[in-house]
Amino acid sequence: MKSGQYRNERDSSGTTPEGAGKSSGDSVFVIQEHDSKKLHWDLRLEMGGVLRSWAVPKEPPTEPGVKRLAIPTTDHSLEYADFEGEIPDGQYGAGTVRIWDRGTFEPVEVDDEKGKIIFRMYGRRLSGVYCLIRTKTRGGKAQWLFFRKKVD
């Protein structure tokens, strides 16, 4: 079984195995593509018993070199990580929610004072070390950048 052997070799070399998403890391993340008034991606990380959330106006980057704006939004309950479907007209966020990526992550460095969250993602689309960095506050609202680190 060549393909099985190949996978085992990759596992032991410490690189990301194929079919990541079911891998290590015990906290859940989800990215929901939200086709609301304005299309955006909701990045949610399980931290402190809730899903900390950021709205990312452009598609999240799969490769290093692309930085995305990420605007903090309301914490959601952990169950919301499974949500896909329609939010009815008249309700906040009315539109369609699709799970764009989902998996687990391991915190690498979390510094809330500085606004710095570095974590290793094990998703189907996003895998590798990612950073969420608070950059500035505009009109009382914090702005963060979300990007993949150059060296995993």
Choose the binding region for Mn ion from 5-13, 42-50, 76-84, 99-107 (rule: CB under 5 A): 42-50
Amino acid at residue number 143: Q
Encode burial over 41-54: b for 16+ CB neighbours within 10 A, e otherwise: bbbbbbbeeebbbb
Alpha-carbon gap, residue 101 to 41, rounded angstroms: 10
User: Does residue number 134 form part of the binding site for Mn ion (CB under 5 A)?
Assistant: no
How many CA atoms lie within 13 Å of 1's alpha carbon, on the beta-carbon side? 5
The least distance separating Mn ion from the CB of residue 98, rounded to whole angstroms, comes to 11
Residue of 20, 23, 33, 42 that binds Mn ion (CB under 5 A): 42
User: Does residue number 33 form part of the binding site for Mn ion (CB under 5 A)?
Assistant: no
Going by C-beta distance under 8 Å and a sequence separation of 6 or more, which residues neighbour residue 110?
47, 116, 117, 118, 119
* Residue with smallest beta-carbon separation from Mn ion: 34
Angstrom CA distances, 142 to 40, 115, 116, 129, 136, stand at 17, 10, 12, 22, 6
The least distance separating Mn ion from the CB of residue 83, rounded to whole angstroms, comes to 11
Q: Which is nearer to Mn ion, 42 or 101 (CB)?
A: 42
Residue of 34, 44, 68, 134 that binds Mn ion (CB under 5 A): 34
The least distance separating Mn ion from the CB of residue 92, rounded to whole angstroms, comes to 9
Binding pattern for the stretch 58-97 against Mn ion, x by CB under 5 A and - elsewhere: ----------------------------------------
Alpha-carbon gap, residue 125 to 122, rounded angstroms: 9
Q: Tell me the number of residues near Mn ion by CB under 5 A.
A: 2
Amino acid at residue number 86: E
Site of interaction with Mn ion (CB under 5 A): 34, 42
